[in-house]
Amino acid sequence: MQIYVDADACPVKAEVVRVAARHDIPVHMVANSWMRIEASPLVKLVVVKDGPDAADDWIAERIGAPDIAITADILLAARCLKAGAQCIGPTGKTFSDANIGMAVAMRDMQRHLRETGESRGFNPTFTPRDRSQFLQALENAVQAVKRRG
């Protein structure tokens, strides 16, 4: 098991490192540019070439069962699920085969509304509750993988 983080705009990098350290799980922080990350022998910063989907492609090409992806990118989440991985958003929302189709459809609808000017496309504020829900979702995902052996 490894954890892959779409790290460029991820607000829960420290939480991922904390859970990974507790369970001795390698973490790949994948980003388009260098960033300061917590020093740990388990954490590797992967800086990919510039490009709109370079980090997504790097993750999707390597992830599989029983890995865990951390991303807010719905299309990357779909690719990770297809590869057999578990996927969690930074607010603790878990993506699954049962809900990814609706998530992709909502993403497409929101994009259309922004393009037509019917929506301003704001992002909700990231809250302490979101952080807590994320920690619980990640812990649950790790425990589920461990139970499966």
- pLDDT of the chain, 149 residues: tens digit per residue: 999 999 998 999 999 999 999 999 999 999 999 999 988 999 999 999 888 899 999 999 999 999 999 999 999 999 999 999 999 999 999 999 887 777 777 767 777 777 788 777 666 788 999 999 999 999 999 999 999 87
Q: For residues 95 and 146, what is the distance between their CA atoms, to the nearest angstrom?
A: 19
Instruction: Using the Cα atoms of residue 49, residue 52, residue 56 and residue 61 in order, give the sign of their dihedral.
Output: negative
* 133 CB-near residues (< 8 Å, 6+ apart): 91, 92, 93
What is the predicted pLDDT for the residue at 110?
73
Indicate the DSSP class of residue 75.
Answer: H
Helix (H, G, I), strand (E, B) or coil at 46: strand
What is the predicted pLDDT for the residue at 146?
94
Nearest to 97 by CA among 84, 110, 115: 84
* Domains of the chain and any CATH numbers: 3-148 (3.40.50)
* 19 CB-near residues (< 8 Å, 6+ apart): 25, 135, 138, 139, 142
Q: For residues 19 and 38, what is the distance between their CA atoms, to the nearest angstrom?
A: 13
